[in-house]
Structure 1
Amino acid sequence: MSTTERTDQRRVPEHRQPESAPARPPAAVGWAYAMVIVATLAAIASNVFEIAHQVETGAAGAATTGDLVLTIAFCALFGYFAEMLRAGRQWGRVLLTIFTSLGLLFTGLGLAGLGGRPLVGPLQASLAVTSLVPSVIGLVLLYVPSVNQWIAQVRDRSRTVSQRMRKAFLTAHVAISVGWLGLVTGMFAMSVSGATTGSAEHQAAMYRTMSMLDEIFLGMTSMFALITGIVVAAGTKWGLLLRTWVAVKFFTTMGVMMLGFAVIHQLILRANELVDEGAPVRGGELDTVGWSMAAAAAVAVLSLVFMTAVSTYKPWGHTRRGRRANARPAARRTSSSR
């Protein structure tokens, strides 16, 4: 065979199999999408009913405005996450799972009267129950075998967000997290000031300011810090549970949120109740509540500083899940080379 013939043979392009079309989502995805939307609409209706009740009774204020903003934001976000699920985005499923679970938790606490604002009348309670049922069904449908198989098929093509979106979410995450840290630090300073003062007027001013910040900003900043952080993690190469430092940040964020909702919020409510009742500044329950608020706020501040350090140094390497994920491509390359 001549050199020219060998060269021509090398130039013949190899036959390539056409890429398979993206797998269509199974029916369970559509049903999960519908259940999440129904649950979200019921929860929003319950929130709107509460806002209307506050307006009718003259109790509307800055907290009502914050509730309205959160209602609009969550309506848009849940719709967006549901659309990302239908597009096969793994991070969309993760966000839907987390926030549907949080909704179940908070709604359950509200129904049981164990936290948050009490439900107003049977209509709001009925709406809360209406949101619970499709939420549970939707969560189950998100992880049936057909959905897991479909996500596994499309995740390599669509698991990450675009570079522009990543930068936007990262900027928002950093800005909101800084605001969250500043807010909690300020509340810690006010709680210490209220617990150490001998002036009833000064103490009342501190606790009422804390109540305003808690009602308007604390829940909002923590929630959006969590949302943007999950998108930056689950929607990029870092992954939500692939690296230890990301997983630690995620669970620490959840812990600080629970601390704020279940402990700090309840203590602020109790402190303001005692102030309105004219409780003594020193030596009584108000003293205990004040120092408890300071201790809880200190834990929150230290936790947020810890998360900032973890984000900077990125220690500890991959999780067990991350090591398994890295081993799969290597195993495929080894088997294909044989």
Structure 2
Amino acid sequence: MRMMRPAVRKGALAIHIISSVGWLGAIAGFLVLAITGLTSTNIQLVRAAYVGMDLIGWSIIFPLSLASLASGIIQGLGTVWGLFRHYWVVIKLVITALATVLLLVHLQPVTAMAAMATAADLRPSDMNAMRIQLVADAGAAMLALLVTTILSVYKPRGLTRYGESVSAQKNTGAGSAKGTSA
């Protein structure tokens, strides 16, 4: 495996941290708007909440999710952690990829709600099931991103089978190299 130069590695890490934390923060703002859209009795505020959610979703959350996914893959491929060597990295990759795909699915009803809000008077009771779903989805996204953040900080031990075989090969190669040079 080829390692990145330190400056490139640090830059990629900075992009990954910024995009991941930004994604988490944008979801927090989105969740506040979703709760406002569900609970407010002010029709103008409800309309504005769904228009804002659509704007934040497509302009901030989706690009940050892609940046987080791409920079995480680059980090995995170019550092000693590897992409498939450690369980915590694999779990983060799966959660991030799944969250990005689900985000695309989730943004469709957001766009529909924003269109309804701008086309007509959207009463607080209209589309209640969809409104509840938007709050639940944003809450689930917050939880998923918090899990990936915790995994990044604590890095639980445990190698995958692939990681164990790579470690065994390194140890075997290092041992035989030492034995031949002595």
Mark the runs of 5 or more structure 2 residues left unpaired by the alignment. Answer: none
- Percentage of identical aligned residues: 27
1:212 aligns with 2:55: yes
1:288 correspondence with 2:129 = yes
2:13 equivalent to 1:170:
yes
TM-score normalised per structure 1: 0.50
Aligned to 2:37: 194
Instruction: Report the Cα distance in structure 2 between the residues aligned to 1:297 and 1:267, rounded to whole angstroms.
Output: 13
1:321-332 matched pairs, under 5 angstroms:
321-332=162-173
Residue 146 (structure 2) aligns with: 305
Please say if residues 194 and 203 of structure 1, whose CA atoms lie closer than 8 Å, have aligned partners that are also in contact.
Answer: yes
One-letter amino acid matched to 1:234: L
Cα offset, 1:281, TM superposition: 1.9
Assess if the C-alpha contact under 8 Å between 1:259 and 1:296 holds in 2: no
Q: Which moved more, 1:266-275 or 1:196-205?
A: 266-275
- Give the Cα–Cα distance (whole angstroms) in 2 for the partners of residues 221 and 246 of structure 1: 19
May I ask how many residue pairs the two structures share in their alignment? 178
Unaligned runs of 5+ in 1: 1-154
Letter of the 1:201 partner, please give it: Q
Letter in 1 for 2:94: F
Deviations, residues 115-173 of structure 1 (Å, cap 9, x unaligned): xxxxxxxxxxxxxxxxxxxxxxxxxxxxxxxxxxxxxxxx4xxx211011001111121
Letter in 2 for 1:185: A
| Displaced runs of 4 or more, over 4 A | 333-336
Matched, 1:270 2:112: yes
Q: CA deviation at 1:215?
A: 2.1
What is the distance in 2 between the residues matched to 1:288 and 1:273?
A: 17
Give the AA of the match of 2:158: G
| Residue 15 of structure 1: aligned partner | none
CA distance in 2, matches of 1:214, 1:207: 10
TM-score, length-scaled by structure 2: 0.91
Q: 1:307 and 1:193 mapped to 2: Cα distance?
A: 27
- Cα distance, 1:238 vs structure 2: 0.5
Matches within 5 A, 1:148-167: 155=1, 159-167=2-10
Higher relative contact order (CA 8 A, sep 6+): 2
Counterpart residue number, 2:85 = 242
User: Structure 1 327/262 Cα, relative in aligned 2: closer, same or farther at 3 Å?
Assistant: same
Kindly provide the amino acid, as one letter, of the partner of residue 298 in structure 1. G
> Of the two, which has the highest radius of gyration?
1
Within-5 A mapping of 1:1-338: 155=1, 159-263=2-106, 265-275=107-117, 276-282=119-125, 284=126, 286-333=127-174, 337=179
Q: What is the identity, as a one-letter code, of the residue corresponding to 1:163?
A: P
Match of 1:37 in 2: none
By how many angstroms is 1:289 displaced? 1.3
The answer (yes or no) to whether the contact 1:259–1:300 under 8 Å persists in 2 is no
Kept after mapping to 2: 8 A contact 1:188/1:298: yes
